[in-house]
Amino acid sequence: MKTNFLRTFSVIGAIAMIAFSMQQCKTDRSSADSEIKILFLHHSTGDVVYKGTSTGRIVRGIRIGQEYDVPAWFSKYNKETGKSYSIEEKAFPKGDPYKWNNYPYDYYNIWVKNAGEAPYMEEPTLEMLTREYNLIIFKHCYPVCDIIEDSTEGNIDSEVKTINNYKLQYNALKAKMQKFPDTKFVVWTGAVRVKAQMDTATAMRANDFFEWVRSEWDEPDDNIYLWDFYELETEGGLFLKDSYAEGENNSHPTPEFGAAVAPLMCQRVVDVIETNGTRTLLNGKYR
């Protein structure tokens, strides 16, 4: 009798342990599913948006002062929703040994032409980045707008800034990114110059290219999405608005502008993660 009781108790205990293990596994899996690692690749203009007006800084590996605006936004969002979205930022390319250029040619050169499991000139390829991050954001600095008139049908391996070259490089990048369907990409439309630094004909070519990116290059139902930074900087014009610029001859946006648009980038990124971008416009504003 005692033996039967012990045997029954043992069986019940075993069943309980199995049930607990299954529930724990389910909880762990649910937690893992909510963990999203985001990478933001940028240079100086992206730095303005990432930091905003916060006074956060790193001293000997320790953060001093406020958290930068973008990571602070995600911290607040995680606290409010129970999500676990983390964002890291890197200068890309970092400038040595690969030069400090982040234009269509350079992304194509590193990620398509020199793709593979090893870095190219110390810069990570998509094969490397997509193993670590669930979503990758990348952008160009404002010299991307220095587009000259096309004289040929285009050369994908050319660093010359023409619309035809850009289109070939962007199409190759799109095909490459689509090979990593488990990773989502958010591409900024380009930063733009102030009027004092760019003539109208050049500005119109830049506008034409970004309109092509929005209306033709960007496809529905894939893993690539846009954040329309160009529209936010120009508000429908051709140049960075003077009130958003650091100076009449300085095409970097002000920290105040960075702080104003940082939440829009964050909203767009979260919407891409959660609903494939259906709740927001390209500029990150809610529909």
Tokens representing 134 are: 């669930």
123 secondary structure, DSSP code: B
Q: CA of 249: how far to CAs of 60, 231, 284, in Å?
A: 34, 20, 28
The amino acid that residue 46 corresponds to is G
Beta strands in the chain (DSSP E): 35-42, 57-59, 62-64, 84-91, 135-138, 184-188, 224-227, 245-247, 250-253
Contact 267, 276 (CB under 8 A): no
**pLDDT value of residue 32:** 41
**pLDDT value of residue 131:** 97
**pLDDT value of residue 30:** 33
In angstroms, the CA 6 to CA 4 distance is 5
**pLDDT value of residue 151:** 85
In angstroms, the CA 273 to CA 183 distance is 10
**pLDDT value of residue 29:** 31
Tokens representing 216 are: 């033709």
Q: Helix and strand tally (H, E) in the chain?
A: 9, 9
Q: CA of 8: how far to CAs of 1, 14, 15, 122, 235, in Å?
A: 11, 10, 11, 63, 74
**pLDDT value of residue 15:** 38
**pLDDT value of residue 67:** 85
Low-confidence ranges of the chain (pLDDT < 70): 1-33, 55-65
**pLDDT value of residue 200:** 98
| pTM attached to this predicted model | 0.86
CATH T-level assignment (fold) for domain 34-275: Rossmann fold (3.40.50)
